[in-house]
Amino acid sequence: MSELPEIGVELRTGDRIMSRELMRWYCDALETAADADGTFKIAAPTIHSSDEYAHSQGLPAIIADGMISTNWISGLLAREFGLGYIGQGSLRTKFIRPIYEDEIVSTHARVTAVEVDDTGAVVTMDVWAAIEPDGTPCTVGTATARVPS
Amino acid sequence: MTLQRYVSDLEEGDVFVPVRYTLSSFVIREYCHGNAEDYAGFHGPTAETGGVQVATPTLAHIEKIRLYKHNCPGGQGPKARIHVEFFSTQFAPIPAGTELITSGEVARRYTKRGRTYMEIRIEVRSALTDELYTRYVDTTILAYEKSDENPENAHV
């Protein structure tokens, strides 16, 4: 069997800045991916890209789409577990605090259980994204990945 | 075919008209570019991903957008959605170029602390073999600002 992580082991990415440009790029990429017609799309103003629109919706400023921090957590799992996460894993995230422009974000996974079975093991983790430098959680959840025999 | 004109009009029990499409290499790469995800297997074939380019599991979220676009042509409605929870479970990797069918339904719509929530359940399967690739549960607030939608409907 591939080497199993120990309970309590923590994985972490480097810090990233949630720039205004990234927030907008995500909106455009989402539209492009959803339309799936092979052309690039520019998204209409959203709470992630337009101050005016965000204010009109009762928000103090634009906020990042929660899927950006989810994608960063997902990428951490893909790097660590490969197809054991991409094809046989799970990810559940809940967005408990908005991420605002220029906030610095780190992403984490901590192993909470390792369950061995006939074909390998299932690794269960707590996952989260945090606002740095104080580590305030903004996205929290759980994930699983399979480690083959 | 239209299910409801606006996403905000969707009701508990509504079943989306499924969407059939081919997941292109371009779509996977572009979505990853949009969130600065550079894992190599999402951008092209790698040994680690079995010699093929595979979809990032978070593309499940795009399946929701795709269902909305096809079933609710009027768009979101008067207020912006706020995403609350993402929950995907993968049953097999999805290689680029796979023809897929995405289906889904509105599992719950409820009021909690003055805001209206909606839970969508989605499945992504092979259009050719019916193999299940992904189950996805998505929860959103339909409007950030509190509304007076009947609080007696609340079951949370």
What is the average per-residue pLDDT within A60-68? 95
Token output for B75: 């768009």
Chain A residues with CB inside 8 Å of B35's CB?
Answer: 22, 25-26, 29, 67-68, 71-72
Tokens 């103090």: give the residue: A60
Q: What is the pLDDT at residue A126? A: 98
Q: Mean pLDDT throughout A3-28?
A: 94
B42–A78 C-beta distance less than 8 A: yes
Tokens for B108? 């719950």
Instruction: Enumerate residues 96 to 135 of chain B having a beta carbon within 8 A of any beta carbon in chain A.
Output: none
| Among B residues 44-73, those touching chain A with beta carbons less than 8 Å apart | 48-50, 54-59, 61-62, 65-66, 69
Question: Please, what is the average pLDDT of chain A?
Answer: 95
Close Cβ partners of B45 (under 8 Å, ≥ 6 residues apart): B51, B52, B53
Contact B102, B124 (CB under 8 A): yes
Mean pLDDT is lowest, of A51-65, A72-86, A95-109, B69-83, for: B69-83
Percent of chain A with pLDDT over 70: 99
Tell me the C-alpha to C-alpha distance, in Å, between residue B134 and each of B4, B29, B58, B143, B147.
Answer: 25, 19, 10, 27, 34
Q: Which of B68, B61, B48 is nearest to B3 (CA)?
A: B68
The conformational region for residue B109 under phi > 0 = left, psi -120 to 50 = alpha, else beta, is beta
Q: Which amino acid is at B61?
A: H
Mean per-residue pLDDT, A111-137: 97
Name B68's Cβ contacts closer than 8 Å, sequence gap at least 6.
Answer: B7, B76
Residue A141 has a pLDDT of 98
Give the per-residue pLDDT at B148: 52
Q: What is the mean pLDDT of each run of 10 residues along chain B (156 residues)?
A: 83 96 96 94 96 97 94 86 95 98 97 93 98 98 65 35
Among the listed residues A39, A77, A23, the one whose alpha carbon sits nearest the alpha carbon of residue B27:
A39
> What is the model's pLDDT at position B156?
30
pLDDT confidence of residue B155: 34
Average pLDDT over residues A71-77: 97
Q: How confident is the model at residue A89 (pLDDT cuts 50, 70, 90)?
A: very high
| ipTM for the predicted complex | 0.94
pLDDT of residue B143: 76
